[in-house]
Amino acid sequence: MSSKKEINEDLVNERRKCNFNIQEVTHIIDGGVENTLQRKKIEDVALNGGASLDDVPEECMNLRERYENALRKSCVYANILRNELLEITGIENFGTPVIRRTGDAFFKDISPFMLHLGMFVPTIMGQCTAEQQGIWLPKALDMQIIGAYAQTELGHGTFIRGLETTATYDPKTKEFILYSPTITSYKWWAGGLGRTANHCIVVAQLYTQGKCHGVHPFIVQIRDLDTHMPLPGIKVGEIGPRMGFNTADNGFLGFNHFRIPRMNMMMKNAQVLEDGTYVKVARHGKLTYGTMVFVRVTLVNEASFNLSKAVTIAVRYSAVRRQSELRPGSAEPQILDYPTQQHKLFICIATAHAFQLTANWLWHTFTVVQAEMRKGNIDTLPELHALSSCLKAVSTSDAAACIEQCRFACGGHGYMMSSNLPYLYSFVAATRTYEGDYTVLLLQTARYLVKAWEQAEAKKIVTPTVAYLNRCFDTNEKVAWTNSPEGIIKSFQAIAAGKISLCVKNIRQRIKTGMDYEDAWLMTTVQLVSAAEAHCRSMILDTYWNEMQRLTKTSSDNVKMVLYQLTTLYLVYWALEKSGDLLRYTSITEGDIDLLQKEYEDLLVKIRPNAVGLVDAFDLRDEILRSTLGSYDGRVYERLMEEVQKNPLNKVPVDPSFQKYLKPFMKSKI
Ligand SMILES: CC/C=C\C/C=C\C/C=C\C/C=C\C/C=C\C/C=C\CCC(=O)SCCNC(=O)CCNC(=O)[C@H](O)C(C)(C)COP(=O)(O)OP(=O)(O)OC[C@H]1O[C@@H](n2cnc3c(N)ncnc32)[C@H](O)[C@@H]1OP(=O)(O)O
Ligand SMILES: Cc1cc2nc3c(=O)[nH]c(=O)nc-3n(C[C@H](O)[C@H](O)[C@H](O)COP(=O)(O)OP(=O)(O)OC[C@H]3O[C@@H](n4cnc5c(N)ncnc54)[C@H](O)[C@@H]3O)c2cc1C
Nearest atom in ligand 2 to the alpha carbon of residue 436 is: 21
Instruction: Express each pLDDT in 338-377 by its tens digit.
Output: 999 999 999 999 999 999 999 999 999 999 999 998 888 8
Q: Is the pLDDT at 284 greater than 80, yes or no?
A: no
Mean pLDDT of 495-519: 97
Q: Which domains does the chain have, with CATH numbers?
A: 143-281 (2.40.110.10), 443-616 (1.20.140.10)
What are the phi and psi torsion angles at 238 (to 5°)? Answer: -95, 140
Out of 14, 153, 383, 435, the active site residue is: 435
pLDDT at 358: 98
Where does ligand 2 bind, in terms of residues with CB under 6 Å?
Answer: 115, 149-152, 156-158, 189-191, 245, 250, 430, 433-437, 439-440, 443
Which residue is closest in CA terms to ligand 2's atom 24? 157
* Whether pLDDT at 260 is above 70: yes
Provide the whole-model pTM: 0.97
pLDDT digit string (tens) for 399-438? 999 999 999 999 999 999 999 999 999 999 999 999 999 9
pLDDT above 70 as % of the chain: 97
**What whole-number distance in Å separates Cα of residue 107 and Cα of residue 70?**
7
The CA-based dihedral angle spanning residues 500, 506, 511, 514, taken in that order and rounded to the nearest 10 degrees:
-160
Confidence of residue 5 (pLDDT cuts 50, 70, 90): low
User: What residue owns the CA closest to ligand 1's atom 16?
Assistant: 118
Q: Atom of ligand 2 at shortest distance to CA of 191?
A: 8
Is residue 188's pLDDT more than 70? yes
| Mutation pick for ligand 2 pocket among 113, 114, 433, 533 (CB with most ligand atoms within 8 Å) | 433
Residue type, 10: D
CA distance linking residue 401 with residue 415, whole number of Å: 15
Identify the band that residue 470 occupies on the pLDDT scale cut at 50, 70 and 90. Answer: confident
| Mean pLDDT calculated for residue range 63-87 | 90
Q: Is the CB of 147 under 6 A from ligand 1?
A: no
Tell me the three-class secondary structure of 136-178, residue by residue. Answer: HHHHHHCCCCCEEEECCECCCCCCHHHCCCEEEEECCCCEEEE
Q: Residue 150: nearest ligand to its CA?
A: 2
Ligand closest in space to the Cα of 439: 2
Direct distance between the N- and C-terminal alpha carbons of the chain, in angstroms, rounded to an integer: 47
Q: Which atom of ligand 2 is nearest to the CA of 438?
A: 47
Mutate-to-test residue for ligand 1 from 152, 160, 439, highest number of ligand atoms within 8 A of CB: 160
Reply yes or no on whether the pLDDT at 3 is more than 70: no
* pLDDT at residue 176 greater than cutoff 50: yes
The closest-lying atom of ligand 1 relative to the alpha carbon of residue 77 is 1
Evaluate whether 415 touches 407 at the Cβ level (below 8 Å): yes
Long-range CB pairs of 501-509 (<8 Å, 24+ gap) are 501/453, 502/527, 502/531, 503/446, 503/449, 503/450, 503/527, 503/528, 503/531, 504/450, 504/453, 504/454, 507/450
Secondary element (H or E) of residue 200: strand 199-208
Element (H, E) at 270: strand 270-272
Mark whether 238 is an active-site residue: no
Give the amino acid at 637.
Answer: Y
Ligand 1 pocket residue status of 156, Cβ below 6 Å? no
Average pLDDT, the chain: 94
Distance of alpha carbon 72 from the chain centroid: 25
Could you say which ligand is closest to the alpha carbon of residue 248? 2
Find, among 224, 236, 234, the residue nearest to 198 by Cα. Answer: 224
Least confident window among 476-485, 498-507, 571-580: 476-485
| ipTM attached to this prediction | 0.97
Q: How many CB atoms lie within 10 A of CB 492?
A: 29
Instruction: Look at residue 2 and tell me whether its pLDDT is greater than 50.
Output: no
Q: Does the Cβ of 621 fall within 6 Å of ligand 1?
A: no
Residue nearest to atom 65 of ligand 1 (CA): 444
Q: Poorest-confidence range of 9-23, 78-92, 316-330, 569-583?
A: 78-92
For residue 367, report the distance from its CA to the centre of ligand 1, in Å: 17
Which protein residue's CA is at the shortest distance from atom 7 of ligand 2? 190
Burial class (CB in 10 A: 0-12, 13-18, 19+), 482: middle
